[in-house]
């Protein structure tokens, strides 16, 4: 089967090359904003949108004019890619391919395209015309640029994207690679994953063993330093040279935080994807979970500070990024990521399926009011996810209790006593997994 894969490297730049990068990204940003402004104005006057084919004609006229003649400095296909991206953004915003303004219907989670800002959106893409030789790449209208080649590039390069992040420029090379279709070597291993604040990941594999991966919060590590540098920034004159220097220092701190988070998530997702063929996760709507509780002036919110802290913790851990990494790594190795309905996972008994808020006596303890089953609440959430994953795939997901020595079905099993009646402890084994361990 064919897969698309991206390789990202940091570029070796100098002031001359960076100036060319800024000009290319500036022209790209201008074309996006100009086209977006035209379409926004047409919608306000109830005129149908202009799509890519017509907009490409406008681009040709802009390049020939005296006012916008600077667009000739940019590669033509780079500017065309900006228009194609804008068309895709409008199609994502609308329900169908080419609707009239009266028939526009909004799609969930797809907002109206935004204008791009200088020093924030610095990127452009080449669909063709580039060349890669060893540890350098040729970019049209820029020339040969070296990069730090940390790994071999496999597959056929399809396009390259140049992007600035903080003080460095990076190249992302998308390739198309043909790989044999194969089953995951551990396709029989089904686990459920529950993400949380106390434990970043709780893993249930069908036994009573507790497996946790704890997140070493980079934001907490840098919080004091970040606050100190931000206070310094507030005392400087905006857009002065010292203000710009201080802003770059703050950007460097944010870059360090982001790199630590990504490194951690990559290691955790790789360890899970290597050792388990089927992984179930909750289909959480993170965007809805992190909505502010501030409310309005007429209807002020409650517990605003506590909700703000919860939102910060969720965003700091990168739940969405973790699931994306896990999904593509499992697909690449022949595994499956299954998203299940998240409601009630932490308050449903894994033995008798009794669901009640009273089952969760505290943040960490689960005690079923129906059958008396007790265990760690995070493990229970992960186990329910595992059972729902197996049910969604049409598989059997038995609970295995090593201390008892037999298998107990999810409802308790006919003819067998559940573990709490057999005198076994609900915490047979607990482990907090460090990164990259082999027994995840």
pLDDT digits (tens, 9 = 90+) for 132-179: 999 999 999 999 999 999 999 999 999 999 999 888 999 999 999 998
Choose among 168, 75, 90: nearest CA to 128. 75
Calpha distance 129→118 (Å, rounded): 26
* Structural domain boundaries enclosing 278: 186-440
Same domain, 174 and 211: no
> Tokens 């890669």 correspond to what residue?
132
Domain boundary among 120, 152, 178: 178
Predicted confidence (pLDDT) at residue 440 exceeds the cutoff of 60 = yes
Length of the chain, in residues: 440
CB 386 within 8 A of CB 410: no
Same domain, 304 and 389: yes
Convert the pLDDT of each residue in 88-141 to its tens digit.
999 988 864 444 343 343 344 478 999 999 888 899 999 999 999 999 999 999
- CA 122-125-128 angle, to 5 degrees, is 160
Calpha distance 419→164 (Å, rounded): 56
Domain boundary among 153, 178, 203: 178
Give the DSSP letter of residue 434.
Answer: P
CB 282 within 8 A of CB 342: yes
pTM of the model: 0.81
Same domain, 300 and 163: no
CB 434 within 8 A of CB 216: no
Calpha distance 126→138 (Å, rounded): 11
Same domain, 138 and 191: no
Confidence of residue 416 (pLDDT cuts 50, 70, 90): very low
Same domain, 320 and 403: yes
Same domain, 221 and 339: yes
State the catalytic residues. Answer: 194, 282, 378
Domain boundary among 178, 200, 221: 178
Calpha distance 59→83 (Å, rounded): 9
């Amino acid at each position: 089967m064919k897969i698309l894969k991206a390789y990202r490297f940091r570029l070796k730049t100098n002031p001359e090359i960076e100036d060319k990068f800024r000009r290319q990204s500036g022209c790209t940003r201008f074309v996006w904003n100009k086209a977006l402004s035209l379409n926004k104005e047409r919608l306000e006057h109830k005129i149908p949108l202009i799509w890519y084919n017509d907009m490409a004609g406008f681009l040709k006229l802009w390049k020939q004019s005296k006012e916008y003649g600077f667009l000739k400095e940019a590669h033509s296909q780079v500017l065309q890619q900006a228009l194609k991206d804008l068309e895709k953004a409008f199609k994502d915003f609308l329900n169908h391919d080419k609707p009239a303004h009266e028939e526009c219907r909004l799609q969930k989670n797809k907002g109206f395209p935004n204008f791009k800002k200088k020093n924030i959106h610095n990127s452009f893409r080449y669909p063709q015309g580039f060349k890669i030789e060893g540890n350098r790449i040729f970019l049209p209208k820029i020339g040969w640029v070296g990069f730090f080649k940390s790994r071999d590039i496999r597959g056929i390069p399809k396009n390259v994207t140049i992007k600035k992040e903080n003080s460095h420029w990076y190249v992302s090379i998308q390739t198309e690679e043909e790989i044999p279709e194969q089953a995951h070597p551990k396709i029989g291993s089904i686990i459920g994953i529950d993400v949380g604040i106390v434990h970043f990941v709780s893993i249930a594999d069908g036994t009573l063993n507790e497996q946790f991966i704890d997140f070493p919060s980079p934001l907490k590590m840098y919080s004091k330093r970040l606050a100190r540098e931000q206070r310094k920034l507030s005392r400087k004159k905006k857009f002065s040279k010292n203000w710009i220097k201080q802003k770059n220092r703050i950007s460097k701190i944010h870059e360090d935080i982001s790199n630590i988070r990504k490194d951690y998530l990559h290691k955790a997702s790789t360890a899970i994807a290597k050792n388990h063929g089927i992984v179930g996760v909750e289909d959480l709507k993170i965007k809805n979970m992190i909505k502010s509780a501030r409310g309005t002036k007429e209807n002020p919110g409650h517990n605003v500070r506590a909700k703000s802290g919860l939102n910060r913790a969720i965003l700091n851990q990168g739940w969405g990024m973790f699931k994306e990494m896990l999904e593509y790594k499992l697909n690449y190795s022949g595994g499956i990521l299954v998203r299940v309905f998240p409601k009630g996972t932490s308050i449903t008994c894994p033995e008798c399926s009794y669901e009640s808020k009273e089952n969760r006596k505290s943040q960490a303890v689960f005690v079923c009011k129906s059958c008396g089953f007790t265990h760690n609440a995070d493990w229970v959430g992960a186990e329910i996810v595992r059972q729902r994953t197996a049910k969604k795939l049409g598989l059997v997901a038995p609970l295995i209790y090593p201390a008892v020595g037999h298998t107990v079905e999810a409802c308790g099993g006919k003819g067998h006593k559940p573990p709490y009646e057999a005198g076994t402890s609900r915490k047979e084994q607990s482990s907090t997994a460090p990164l990259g361990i082999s027994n995840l």
